[in-house]
Structure 1
Amino acid sequence: MKLSEHLTLTGGVGIAVAAVMILLLPLVLPKGERGRTKLPLILLLLYVAIVASRSFLDDDSPSHEPLKVAGVFFLGSSMARSGFLLVLHSVITRTLGGNVPRIVRDLVQALLFMGVLMLTLRAAGVEPSSLLTTSALLTAVIGLSLQDTLGNLFAGLAIQAQRPFRVGDWIQYDDTEHHIGRIVEMNWRAVKVETLDKVEMTVPNATLAKSSLQNYSMPTRVARRHAYVEAPYDRPPERVIPQLVDAVRGVAGVLPRPPADAVVKDFTERGVRYDVRYYIDDFEQRELIGGQVRERLWYALQRMGVEIPVPQRLVRMFDYTEERLEHEAEARVDERDRALKRVDFLRALPDEARHRLAEGTHTRMYAPGETIIVEGEAGEELFIVRSGEVRVEIGRRKRHEVARLGPGQFFGEMSLMTGEHRKASVRAVRESEILVIDREALRPVLEEAPELAETISRVLAEREEMLDEADDASTSDMGVKKSVERETSVLLWRIRKLFSLKD
């Protein structure tokens, strides 16, 4: 007997089985999903309506067969839907210990309905495979029309397999900031995303599969955020950055670990741009937290007496006479000359020679932690600390601090005068201004007065001997004198050779 005859002759049994399955659904489904019992119930009621309507038709009515086929499909679909929900929530979900992805559920349910349709057509005497093989044109039309749908379907399957995001994650799928949202639903065709403006966006799976996704909820809920602020060029970063970082600490929502920090981001027409970086773990509140961070930065700048600069163009007009320019240049040279007097072996130079040497010097600025010279490298410059502080370190692999030098102190004199390689590395501790004397600035002075080389060599030798005496207090006066004379001769020979001076 055909399937259709079984279902129609024993319609009461089919209705009973379908009704029992529907009654069991509320016992299995979670409270929030009990509305899913509506579809199998509607399908069952349609079957009952068809059975009832057939009783009013004549036996030879042409509507009997179509109604019978439709009734078989509705009853089978009701059972398939109820059976799928019962198995899903009573067996699969409890066994796996989690929710089955929406796209998988929809795909399985579609296959079940397709199976019921095939069985119904076969029961009606129609071979489903013959419908597809007899019309190649129909198949091509259907394939082309479903191209986008199938693309979304397979893209959704790929997303479920790779799982780049989950429901509840915050994602961004393009460069538009308004396209940042929280995933509220994933199905076979698209993903629904809710933005902070409470706007729901439906993004096709194919679009997400082709996009470069940013997931702000993975691998952890901690995400780094940025706040940008400009400060004038005349404010050193070393003083601005600590104030900006301190301002961010204590803002509600900003995590203490990892700690906030700030870096120089760029140099713009408005000033120095700083990037203040902080971390949050509540991405939904990012705009509120960001607003509070920028508010604190404004107050920090106000406390420093810094106005946030606007785009500007600096036009300077000078009405300097030649005498005034010469006076200012001479004042700068005099200031450098005073710094040179603090160096013992340069103090021995005549005032005119030292002043000429000051004309060839220049200043450099070094940031905290920046290396000035490196141990073992060749050098030809002497450095005098004008402001700040530097650290002297020895050891190439494991460095040890041996001294700190402040304003008025100097280093690098042996490399300048004898060409020795650097005996230590020097690094800035704080922002430091350094006066630099190079060999080319000293050469003309020595070429004009070669006898100055002997004076400089003696001062260097005496200073080296004083340092050695501090380590060995038992050295006799006669031994010291002989040692100084010997060291003076050696240094003088090396200075003359380096600067190509005649005896």
Structure 2
Amino acid sequence: MHDPLASLGLLALAVFATIIAHGRGLLVRMGIEAVLLLAIGTYLLWRGSSPLPHLGSGSSGLADAWLRALVVVWWLVGARLVVNVIVFVRGRDQKSREARLFSDLASAIIYITAIWIILNSVLDLNVQGLLVTSGVIAIVLGLALQNTLADVFCGLAIGLEQPFHVGDRISIGDSVEGVIVQMNWRSLRIHTDDDDIATVPNSLVAKGLIVNRSVPTRHRVATVETVAPAEVAPETILDLIWQATLLCPSILSVPAPSITLCRTDLVSNTYAARFSVSDSSIVAAAKSSLLRQVRRLFRYGGIGRPHPMSVGELLRSLTLFEALSQEEVDRLARDLIVQSVSPGDTIFEQEAISSSIYVIEAGVLELSRESGQSGSRVLGRIGAGEYIGELGLITGSPRSFTLKALTHGKALELPGAALAKLLHSNAALNAEMERSVRKGLAQIHRDDAARDVAPTDQPADLFAQIRMFFRV
């Protein structure tokens, strides 16, 4: 005789074990399910039955009902254990764990198979007849859900081919570009550069042109076109555009930018700058920065102007000297010392005494600092229309960086004595000059160098030194 209390106790144990396993780690759940599966299977074999189809000895009455319940539990626990094993095996690959499409598909197949066995072999229900009867319903549902089914099967095809993974940056045609944050049965969720979440059906993904921006690297190549007057020698324009790429920190030096003349006519020439950046998200910013630098270098190079920019005009265009009159600017221009530089020439060395301000008339110069065991570190670059050295001149501290030329160019040296003499004769300029120095601290591409030159962390002390310098 079969004792129904033993079966009831195992059923209660199964319910209790399921509650205990809920919320636990995957390995803990797998261990509890394996022990429960072994216990129920051992009990069934001991009672002369088996959970496998058509192998158990049938019984009748209440005992048979309890045994059937145990077999149902055995199949459900077994299906759950197999699903967890699949999740554990695929979970070792981070991308496979995030792309849950195949794990969900395998789980669905396992559960459907287990339920079919339970209905057909354990509970002796005529599943085949039920399937035939529901054929018409299946056809109707298939027609109603054809778009959803298309997304599902396209998702399966994408999962088999694996052209991308969660975390990759992709573009789909000309409509969507961004980083994949989720892949599921029906669609992709893409985090765009506009900080939106775009949901794209898998059927559209499968039909569209997919470009994976993360493979083999996240580097992105971009092109910017510039128009210049035809009367200017192409060599001059090519050199200025190349200098502009050197002044854009986001443009990679390897591979080197490529500057070409792509179109020409009687009035103007069109030039193309092809460059690389580290990530697609900064392409727009890199293009904008390059165009601004090209425009600035064209201005200081005299491109598109009726005559080249004079030294006086160069000084008047600088923030530091915008408060000076034309006569005062001319006096400063007469005191300038012109230095023609070639690539590799040193303008001044680190730890040198600060005695002059340098205004860049042409070319690109690089600021670097030697820092012990770590070697030389690049702080930044400056080009035509920028200046350096005013804070060190005012505070009297040694240079904290080395200034070297990257290209051919000209640097205009303004001795500190000439500036002090000019300001001494016009005390009303002190406040204006202090304001200019404040603006110079925030000037683009010079923040790091400005902080390095300043020997004090207290702005009040710094500007007290500025006022003292101006009133010498």
TM-score (norm 2): 0.48
TM-score (norm 1): 0.45
Q: Which protein has the larger Cα radius of gyration, Structure 1 or Structure 2?
A: 1
